[in-house]
């Protein structure tokens, strides 16, 4: 009786070990997920400036954008009216925050204003520069990036518009990837830097 019980225990142990080995062999391997890549807007100084300021001090407002795009998502479209975001690529900061810092650098370098202040400052200045981000996305089905920025220079106390302009850019992208799109975004902003200077340095709207 004891021998039979011992044999059963040995058999059960043997079967248990086999089951463990089988289960271990059949356990699916966990696929490694690629790490997120973060991108930013790089300011490229075009070295254009004036000898003497033609405007007073200005505040650069945080650019306005639709709420759904206030995140760090990099937007692309494979088909018209269908917007998506790259799953493994992100902006380092929300797009409006990066563009505000970009514009502060751009406008400050031109010396067109006596001084450039971020809107978060409590300093009371006579001018405000506002920007609407109308488009800032990778249009894959057109093989290009589309950027559309509406810039408004305002006399702050009277809330009077001094001048305004819509800037549009369509630059080709080498391949359908976030990395290639970022290169084109930054190239478009380099052109915007030049156009913004020319626009602000003229009296006409």
Predicted TM-score (pTM) of this structure = 0.79
Residue 2: per-residue pLDDT: 47
Residue 163: per-residue pLDDT: 95
The residue with greater pLDDT, 125 or 192, is: 192
pLDDT at 23 over 60: no
> What domains are there in the chain, each with its CATH number?
39-200 (3.40.50.10610)
How far apart (Å, rounded) are the C-alpha atoms in residues 149 and 119? 18
Average pLDDT over residues 71-85: 89
10 Å CB burial of residue 198 (0-12, 13-18, 19+) is exposed
């Amino acid at each position: 009786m004891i021998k039979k019980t011992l044999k059963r225990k040995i058999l059960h142990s043997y079967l248990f070990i086999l089951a463990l080995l089988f289960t271990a062999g059949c356990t699916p391997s966990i696929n490694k997920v690629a790490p997120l890549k973060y991108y930013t807007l790089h300011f490229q100084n075009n070295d254009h400036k004036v000898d003497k300021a033609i405007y007073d001090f200005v505040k650069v407002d945080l650019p306005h954008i639709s709420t759904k795009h206030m995140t760090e998502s990099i937007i692309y479209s494979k088909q018209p009216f269908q917007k998506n975001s790259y799953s493994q690529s992100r902006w380092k900061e929300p797009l409006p925050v990066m563009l505000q810092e970009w514009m502060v650098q751009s406008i400050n370098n031109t010396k067109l204003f006596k001084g450039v202040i971020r809107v978060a400052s409590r300093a009371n200045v006579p001018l405000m520069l506002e920007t609407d981000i109308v488009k800032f996305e990778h249009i894959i089905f057109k093989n290009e990036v589309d950027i559309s920025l509406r810039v408004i220079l305002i006399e702050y106390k009277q809330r009077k518009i001094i001048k305004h302009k819509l800037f549009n850019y369509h630059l080709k992208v080498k391949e359908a990837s976030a990395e290639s799109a970022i290169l084109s975004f930054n190239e478009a902003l380099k052109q915007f830097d030049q156009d913004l200077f020319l626009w602000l340095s003229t009296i006409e709207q």
